[in-house]
Amino acid sequence: MAAIEGFQTIGVDSLTPHIGAEIAGVDLSKPLSNEQFSEIYQAWLDWKVVVFRDQHINQEQHKTFARKFGSLHVHPMQHSYGGDPEVLRVKTTKDSTYTAGNGWHTDVTCDEIPPLGSMLYMTQTPEVGGGDTLFADMYLAYELLSDTFKALLEPLTAIHDGALPYLSSYKVNPPEGEAYPRNEHPMVVTHPETGKKLLYINSGFTARIKGMSQWESKTILNALFDHIAQTPRLYCHVEWQPNTLTFWDNRCTQHHAVWDYWPHSRYGERVSILGNKRPQAA
Ligand code: SIN
Question: Is the separation of the CB atoms in 51 and 38 below 8 Å?
Answer: no
**CATH fold for domain 2-281:** Double-stranded beta-helix (3.60.130)
Considering only CA atoms, which residue is closest to atom 4 of ligand 1?
A: 101
pLDDT on residue 270: 96
Q: For ligand 1, what atom is nearest to the CA of residue 88?
A: 3
pLDDT on residue 82: 65
pLDDT on residue 99: 86
pLDDT on residue 253: 98
- 180 Cα–ligand 1 center, Å: 20
- 253 Cα–ligand 1 center, Å: 13
- 150 Cα–ligand 1 center, Å: 29
Considering only CA atoms, which residue is closest to atom 2 of ligand 1?
A: 101
Q: For ligand 1, what atom is nearest to the CA of residue 240?
A: 8
Could you give the CA distance from residue 39 to residue 43 in angstroms, rounded to a whole number?
6
pLDDT on residue 78: 56
Query: What's the distance, Cα to Cα, between the start and end of the chain in Å?
Result: 33
Active site residues: 105, 107, 255, 270
Considering only CA atoms, which residue is closest to atom 3 of ligand 1?
A: 101
Pocket of ligand 1 (CB under 6 A): 90, 100-101, 118, 120, 133, 255, 257, 270
Q: Rounded to two decimals, what is the model's pTM? A: 0.94
Where do the domains of the chain lie?
2-281
Task: Select from 73, 77, 90 the residue to mutate for testing ligand 1; criterion: most ligand atoms less than 8 Å from CB.
Answer: 90
In a structure prediction context, what are the per-residue pLDDT tens digits for the chain, which is 282 residues long? 899 999 999 999 999 999 999 999 999 999 999 999 999 999 999 999 999 999 999 999 999 999 999 999 987 665 555 689 999 999 999 999 888 899 999 999 999 999 999 999 999 999 999 999 999 999 999 999 999 999 999 999 999 999 887 666 665 666 665 667 899 999 999 999 999 999 999 999 999 999 999 999 999 999 999 999 999 999 999 999 999 999 999 999 999 999 999 999 999 999 999 999 999 998
- 96 Cα–ligand 1 center, Å: 15
